[in-house]
Amino acid sequence: NQAVFGDVRVGCLICSELHQSDLAQRESLRSDFLLALGSDSMFPNDLSANFALAAARYRAAENGIPTIRGNIIGPSAVINADGSIQTMLPFSTSGEVRGEIVLGYKTHTQYSYWGLSAVYAFIALSLLYAAFAQVRFPRKSEQY
């Protein structure tokens, strides 16, 4: 889901793709910024829309990449690479969001390099250690 405009590479996340951290990670590695578009109009209040905005902030901070969140009913925002909101249009407000993204400015985080691999490796090592401990140091049966 990448779009290229001249020298600018835009990683596109549509609707629920925003909630998939591994997809956002892949897009961020090959893009200058992320564009996350969606519509939460099927939900009766702003809860889902605010959840999606929070997810966009997480994806920006996790991957160290500027992100634009566009939502037809709001909130829409320009999000800095650290996850902070530069400018925002609130829920249920018509208008346009204007902000500035510095191209070529991406901070690299451990997550942007490794993703969930480090977590999976930690879990695997913990399970191996537990299995080793069971074999090496078996419980002594209680005798009555």
Average pLDDT, the chain: 86
Predicted confidence band of residue 69 (pLDDT cuts 50, 70, 90): very high
What integer is the mean pLDDT of 25-47?
A: 86
> In this structure, are residues 109 and 62 in contact, taking their beta carbons and an 8 Å threshold?
yes
Q: What is the pTM of this model?
A: 0.73
Provide the pLDDT for residue 87: 94
d(CA 45, CA 24): 26
Provide the pLDDT for residue 54: 93
DSSP output for 12-28: EEEGGGGG-HHHHHHHH
**pLDDT of 137 higher than 70:** yes
The ranges assigned to domains in the chain are 2-107, 110-138
**pLDDT of 80 higher than 90:** yes
Cβ-based neighbours of 84, under 8 Å, separated by 6 or more: 57
> In this structure, are residues 45 and 75 in contact, taking their beta carbons and an 8 Å threshold?
no
The residue written with tokens 């080793």 in the block is: 132
Lowest mean pLDDT among 81-90, 111-120, 128-137: 111-120
Provide the pLDDT for residue 49: 85
> In this structure, are residues 63 and 24 in contact, taking their beta carbons and an 8 Å threshold?
yes
Q: What is the CATH number of domain 2-107?
A: 3.60.110.10
d(CA 129, CA 119): 15
The two structure tokens encoding residue 9 = 């590479």
